[in-house]
Chains A and B, each alone.
Chain A
Amino acid sequence: DGGITQSPKYLFRKEGQNVTLSCEQNLNHDAMYWYRQDPGQGLRLIYYSQIVNDFQKGDIAEGYSVSREKKESFPLTVTSAQKNPTAFYLCASSMNFREQFFGPGTRLTVL
């Protein structure tokens, strides 16, 4: 089955720790995205990538980093510089900027 997988489903972080969220897709899509979702705020774009080894900052990139070493993978690192990381994180992919297909999400909680 083609689709997008995210792991883990739930993640707990201590203050000052970096954590990495995984996103993998087997849809052969060129573009991949990371969004943050907070109650009442909709989806906010963190980073996006159109091709391997290239990515751009979205609207709220501070405190986050990404890499795109393979077409099918786009991991997101939440660094200690992100002061309020508790949120639901969604990964998506698309053929360039056509409709996006979403993964099931990772819920990150800071302890």
Chain B
Amino acid sequence: AQSVTQLGSHVSVSEGALVLLRCNYSSSVPPYLFWYVQYPNQGLQLLLKYTTGATLVKGINGFEAEFKKSETSFHLTKPSAHMSDAAEYFCAVTSNYGGATNKLIFGTGTLLAVQP
């Protein structure tokens, strides 16, 4: 069975500081991984995805994530936090990209606060 663990339900950083949001997954087959962002009272927006190929993935708003198979991790980073980055972030995994049987499994989310 697949699962996703997001370490830290709340993370606080200063504006301009590095953002690091942690995601570890469990999967018996090659995973496909996603990060989504949710602003208050809104739906989820896809930040980036890893399916195959290059393990360092760049997304929108200056975010990137690196797939590390040996560590079963897919941590999300941004070099310099902006006030507008304050939101909740969800990591998700599936093992059958484009297939007809598997679903996305979501982590419980990390709420990012950015201090001025």
Question: What residues make up the interface of A, taking CB atoms closer than 8 Å to B?
Answer: 4, 6, 40-43, 45, 48, 50, 58, 88, 90, 92, 95-105, 107
* Closest chain A CB from B72 CB (angstroms): 19
Tell me whether A41 and B108 are in contact in the complex, defined as CB-CB below 8 angstroms, given that A96-B98, A97-B94, A99-B49 are known contacts. Answer: yes
Are B103 and A97 closer than 8 Å at their CB atoms?
Answer: yes
Question: What residues make up the interface of B, taking CB atoms closer than 8 Å to A?
Answer: 9, 34, 36, 41-46, 49, 90, 94, 96-104, 106-109
Are A102 and B106 closer than 8 Å at their CB atoms?
Answer: no
* Closest chain A CB from B93 CB (angstroms): 11
Cα A40 to Cα B43 with chains together (Å): 16
- Which residues from A are CB-within-8-Å of B100? 50, 96-97
Tell me whether A97 and B102 are in contact in the complex, defined as CB-CB below 8 angstroms, given that A40-B9, A42-B108 are known contacts. Answer: yes
* Closest chain B CB from A48 CB (angstroms): 7
Q: Main SS of chain B's interface residues?
A: loop
Give the interface centre of A6, A41, A100 by most chain B CB atoms within 10 Å. A100
- Which residues from B are CB-within-8-Å of A97? 94, 96-104
Are A40 and B108 closer than 8 Å at their CB atoms?
Answer: yes
Contact of B99 among A96, A99, A104, A107 (CB under 8 A): A96
Cα A90 to Cα B102 with chains together (Å): 19
Cα A79 to Cα B102 with chains together (Å): 27
Are B97 and A90 closer than 8 Å at their CB atoms?
Answer: no
* Closest chain B CB from A102 CB (angstroms): 4
Contact of B90 among A6, A40, A43, A88 (CB under 8 A): A43
* Closest chain A CB from B26 CB (angstroms): 15
